C-alpha cells in the first residue's frame, strides 16, 4: 500500500499518501483500508504524537521522528519521504556502504512500519514475513527486497528504489485511458510478475494501481506484498500457525474480491479480480463498478460497462472474465488471462515504440548472408540508445530464464527482436528456452505438443529456431 516514486507525473514530491489517504486531495472517491477488527488505519504523519501523547522528537529513532539526515543502523541516511500509507512510510535513503564502495546506484528505499502497526507487538514478525516472501519472488516484474532489520524502535525493510510512477497516478493523468501499446506493456508486466508469484503459491492479496509501478524505462514492477499470505497448499502455509499477516494487513474494498470479504483462503482468483479491474481502469480511466465493493455490487446486480474501444473482442473476453464478481464466472489462472489478452500481439512500451520509429527513420535495413538469408545488422551500427535498450532487454531475458519464467523471457526477447532483428544473443537465448522446454515437456501428448509448438512459434524470435521447425515438420509429416 505504499507509493515508491522519486518523481511523479505531476512533478517532484516530498510526501505522497497512497490511494486510501490522498483521494480527497485529488477529488476522487476514497478507498478505506479495512483491517481485521473493522477499524480504519489512518497514516501517522511525520512529527505526529504517539499513542501516549508524548512527542516523538527525541534523539532516539522512532517511526515519527525520522527526517532528512536521520541515520538508521549507522548505515542508511534518510534524504526524503517517498510515500506514506496506512501500513508504513517509505523513505529514500543513501546506503553509506554502497557510497563507500563507490556504487553507481547508492540510493535505496527504506520501508518503516508506522502508526498503529508500529505499536503492534508482532510488527517485527510481520515485516520479516513480508521480506521473506518478497525475497522469494526474485523476478524482473516484482520489486527487489534486500533485507529487513530493526534499529531501536524502528522496524524496517530495505528495497530497490524505483524511478517512475504508480499506476494510480498514470490513470489520473489519463482520464480517457492509456494507449493500446502502453496498456499491453503494463498488463504483460503485471501478469508475468503474478504468474511467478502464483507459481510460488504466494497471492498478493492487495493488488491495486498504487501497488504497481511503471518505471521510466517502460518496465513494470508489482510491489507491497505486505498482506500476501501463502496459498493453502504451499510449504509456507505453516507460517499461519505462528503469524498471519492478515491480522495486521487489510484489503482495499474497491479492489477486493467477494471471497476476500467472506474471509476465504487466498487464491489466484483474488489477484485476477483486481487485475481485471485495473485493466479496465487503464483502458478507460474509470473503475468498471464505480469503486463499489464487490458485495454491494453483487447486491445491486451491477454489470461491467461495454467493451472499451481500444481493446479487441478477444481481449475483452480476458478482461470480462477477470473482473467477474461471482467466483464461478471468473478466470482462475493468470496464464489464461495472459494468453487471451496478449495473444499474438507484439508488445511495446512507449519508449520501445519511439526507438522503433528512430530505427525506421535511420533507414536501418536487414543485411543478407551469402546464401540470401537475413542476418542481424551489426550491433555497433545501431543508435547508442537502442544499443542500451537491447542490452538491458537481453539481460532481463537472461535473468528471467534463471528463474524459469519463460513468458517473461519471451517478452523481453520479442522486444529485442523489434529493435535488433535476428540478434545472435536473442536467438541463443531462444534456443535455451526450447532446450529447457523439450526437457520439461518431453512426455506431452501429440496434441499438447502441437499446441505448445504453435504457441512458441507465435513469437518472431522463435520462428527461425531449427529444433522447433523440425518438430513442427515431423508432426505435419505424421498427419499425412
The answer to whether residues 194 and 260 touch, using CB atoms and an 8 Å cutoff, is: no
Is residue 436 part of the annotated active site? The answer reads no
**Parts of the chain belonging to CATH 3.30.200.20:** 23-159
CA–CA separation, 169 and 285 (whole Å): 11
Q: What is the pLDDT of residue 444?
A: 58
Start-to-end C-alpha separation, the chain: 57
pLDDT for 183 beyond 80: yes
Give pLDDT tens digits for 248-301.
Answer: 456 789 999 999 999 888 899 999 999 999 999 999 999 999 999 999 999 999
pLDDT over 90 (residue 311): yes
pLDDT at 417 over 90: no
**How far, in Å, CA of 181 to CA of 2, rounded?**
27
Contact of 76 with 110, CB cutoff 8 Å: yes
Contact 211, 223 (CB under 8 A): yes
Among 181-190, 328-337, 439-448, where is mean pLDDT lowest?
Answer: 439-448
pLDDT at 76: 94
Distance of CA 146 to CAs 111, 133, 200, Å? 11, 12, 19
**Catalytic residue selected from 18, 168, 206, 239:** 206
- Supply the CATH classification number for the domain 164-342: 1.10.510.10
Between CA 170 and CA 8 the distance in angstroms is 9
Residue 282 near residue 322, CB atoms below 8 Å: no
Give the highest mean pLDDT range of 325-334, 349-358, 394-403, 470-479. 325-334
With a CB cutoff of 8 Å and minimum separation 6, the contacts of 298 are 258, 325, 326
Give the pLDDT of residue 441: 54
Q: Check: CATH 3.20.20.140 for 23-159?
A: no
pTM (whole model) above 0.75 = no
The least confident of 70-79, 91-100, 204-213, 376-385 is 376-385
Amino acid at each position: 500500500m505504499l507509493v515508491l516514486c522519486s518523481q511523479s507525473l505531476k512533478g517532484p514530491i516530498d510526501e505522497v499518501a497512497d490511494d486510501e489517504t490522498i483521494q480527497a486531495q485529488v477529488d476522487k472517491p476514497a478507498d478505506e483500508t479495512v483491517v481485521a477488527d473493522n477499524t480504519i488505519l489512518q497514516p501517522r504523519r511525520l512529527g505526529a504524537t504517539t499513542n501516549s501523547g508524548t512527542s516523538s522528537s527525541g534523539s532516539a529513532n522512532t517511526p515519527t521522528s525520522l527526517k532528512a539526515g536521520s541515520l538508521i543502523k549507522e548505515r542508511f541516511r534518510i534524504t526524503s519521504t517517498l510515500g506514506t500509507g496506512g501500513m508504513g512510510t517509505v523513505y529514500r535513503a543513501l546506503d553509506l556502504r554502497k557510497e563507500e564502495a563507490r556504487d553507481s546506484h547508492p540510493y535505496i528505499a527504506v520501508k518503516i512500519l508506522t502508526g498503529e502497526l508500529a505499536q503492534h507487538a508482532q510488527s517485527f514478525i510481520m515485516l520479516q514475513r513480508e521480506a521473506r516472501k518478497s525475497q522469494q519472488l526474485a523476478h524482473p516484474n516484482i520489486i527487489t527486497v534486500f533485507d529487513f532489520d530493526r534499529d531501536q524502535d524502528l522496524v524496517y525493510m530495505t528495497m530497490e528504489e524505483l524511478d517512475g510512477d504508480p499506476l494510480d497516478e498514470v490513470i489520473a493523468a489519463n482520464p480517457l485511458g492509456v494507449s493500446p501499446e502502453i496498456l499491453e506493456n503494463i498488463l504483460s508486466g503485471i501478469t508475468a510478475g503474478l504468474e511467478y508469484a502464483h507459481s510460488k503459491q504466494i497471492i498478493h492479496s492487495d493488488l491495486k494501481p498504487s501497488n504497481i509501478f511503471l518505471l521510466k524505462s517502460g518496465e513494470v514492477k508489482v510491489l507491497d506484498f505486505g498482506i500476501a499470505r501463502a496459498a493453502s497448499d504451499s510449504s509456507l502455509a505453516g507460517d499461519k500457525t505462528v503469524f498471519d499477516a492478515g491480522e495486521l494487513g487489510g484489503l482495499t474494498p474497491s479492489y477486493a474480491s467477494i471471497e476476500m470479504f467472506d474471509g476465504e483462503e487466498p487464491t489466484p482468483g483474488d489477484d485476477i479480480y483486481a487485475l481485471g479491474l485495473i485493466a479496465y481502469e487503464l483502458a478507460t480511466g474509470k473503475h468498471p463498478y464505480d469503486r463499489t465493493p464487490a458485495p454491494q455490487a453483487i447486491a445491486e446486480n451491477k454489470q461491467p460497462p461495454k467493451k472499451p474501444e481500444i481493446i479487441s473482442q478477444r481481449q475483452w473476453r480476458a478482461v470480462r472474465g477477470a473482473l467477474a464478481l461471482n467466483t464461478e464466472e471468473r478466470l482462475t489462472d493468470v496464464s489464461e488471462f495472459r494468453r487471451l489478452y496478449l495473444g499474438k500481439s507484439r508488445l511495446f512500451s512507449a519508449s520501445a515504440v519511439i526507438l522503433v520509429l528512430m530505427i525506421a527513420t535511420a533507414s536501418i535495413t536487414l543485411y543478407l548472408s551469402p546464401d540470401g538469408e537475413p542476418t542481424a545488422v551489426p550491433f555497433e551500427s545501431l543508435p547508442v540508445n537502442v544499443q542500451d535498450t537491447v542490452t538491458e532487454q537481453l539481460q532481463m531475458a537472461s535473468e528471467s530464464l534463471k528463474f524459469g519464467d519463460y513468458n517473461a523471457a519471451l517478452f523481453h526477447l520479442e522486444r529485442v527482436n523489434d529493435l535488433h532483428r535476428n540478434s545472435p544473443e536473442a536467438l541463443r537465448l531462444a534456443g535455451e528456452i526450447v532446450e529447457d522446454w523439450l526437457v520439461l515437456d518431453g512426455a506431452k501428448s501429440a496434441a499438447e505438443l502441437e499446441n505448445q509448438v504453435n504457441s512458441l512459434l507465435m513469437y518472431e524470435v522463435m520462428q527461425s529456431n531449427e529444433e522447433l521447425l523440425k518438430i513442427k515438420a515431423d508432426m505435419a509429416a505424421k498427419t499425412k
